[in-house]
Homo-oligomer: A and B are copies of this chain.
């Protein structure tokens, strides 16, 4: 895992809360970065996306005085430069204009802030590690930024049941290292783990590499404490594995991206850390063979399978060419990366070998390698983990995080690949096949609006037609909220809006996010 971590660290934001925009923004060169408007500062969200400010108050001197008295001067951050990294996202897609960032340390402080903002009609943008992909954690206008950066206390680890209780601002990787002392692990793993906050992960219902083994956060999160827009603290911080006493309110805060309440404390079910990890990298001739192999994977490796990642030839070609990395196997149209984690390495290896023998004999897997030695495991993972970096080096990448029924999983690449602008360099598909979650990515030498128009809204329409989701694991945030109808029924959206109106009647919590205009 060491190499994956080093990749993670280099490609993710620094966790200091300041000066965090420069390096990572350069790493993932989305089309917006190389747009004509992008010089040192890219356009504000307001002008780029033509969005209207809500009827909120502007932060006054009087308000600042209140915040400074509550938190002191060091935890009330002012100044354009100081706020630069908090007003922008690392993908350089959005830019807000907030003038104040607050750093509470306790639930009570969050409650006081929200109660005040609600009374004074001040909009609030909750922010964790600000590693989101859809502009959900950045202010759109001048919202007060409420950062969880100083709410980073691990409160307890129940080693009997395997449950950690902590504040929302704990960094995912730090939290995982903390529970590792007790032989436990956080069941969530994703690229931004070096800087994302667990509260942000939960608010986004972050997915990542382990969903097929450990399920979604709706299953892993046992308890949530959240503060409503009114400042009222809703305590659902149970650390029990079973609790059927009334409506399970914590689920309202999981995946609602801070629009219904700010998550302040959480309790998470932690599986035992595996004693052994193996990785296999396989080459396959057709996507039909990928599907057939995946079926055998589920059958033969069921309980030890901890990751099942997919990439096509175009993706690996790009990784090899741009990063000078070498695949351990020959070239094939498709590749699978399997990871097993278990309590007995010998057993896992035997299962993996048996699986390989079978799929070789059936002609499904054409070539493959297995690694158990950590540096070799890391070499293989690097091919998967550095895909984004590789795309960036093409010049400009347009990426779409969608989930699809498995038979349609790769069809999106084949179908949409036909109709793209001639300036496209590569059309690729890679992702979490075990979750039906593909990242469909197109690259070009430089940003081209015509390329965008050849993809959108076609990709959403295509996804909707096969009953897929236009956001598998990234949420809707600011950027995708007006596409919600491609994945959700009008009655569902109506009920979402009613719940928002009930829980945040003044609409101060993360406005312009999740719900459509």
Which residues on A are within 8 Å of B, measured CB to CB? 158-162, 183, 204-205, 207, 211-212, 215-216, 218-220, 228, 232-236, 238-249, 251-252, 254-256, 260, 271-272, 274, 291, 294-295, 298-304, 341-344, 347, 350-351, 403-407, 432, 434-437, 467-476, 480, 484, 486-489, 491-493, 495-496, 498-499, 502-503, 514-515
Contacts and interface: CB of A to CB of B under 8 A. Distances in A.
Contacts of A342: 302-303
A475 B211 contact: no
B255 A160 contact: no
B351 A470 contact: no
Interface centre among A161, A239, A405, A498 (most CB of B within 10 A): A161
Given A183-B299, A242-B435, A245-B484, 15 more contacts: A158-B405, A205-B244, A234-B489, A235-B492, A239-B405, A240-B405, A240-B436, A240-B472, A242-B473, A244-B469, A244-B475, A246-B514, A249-B496, A347-B347, A499-B499
Contact of A405 (B161, B247, B351, B434): B161
B469 A240 contact: yes
A436 B163 CA distance: 12
Contacts of A480: 245
Nearest to A291: B160
A33 B515 CA distance: 52
A405 B160 contact: yes
Number of copies: 2
Nearest to A248: B255
Given A161-B405, A272-B302, A303-B304, A241 B212 contact: yes
B495 A234 contact: yes
A242 B344 contact: no
A215 B434 CA distance: 18
Contacts of A475: 244
A236 B220 CA distance: 21
A492 B236 contact: yes
Nearest to A477: B244
A232 B260 CA distance: 23
Contacts of A248: 205, 218, 251, 254-255
A194 B342 CA distance: 34
Interface centre among A298, A341, A493 (most CB of B within 10 A): A298
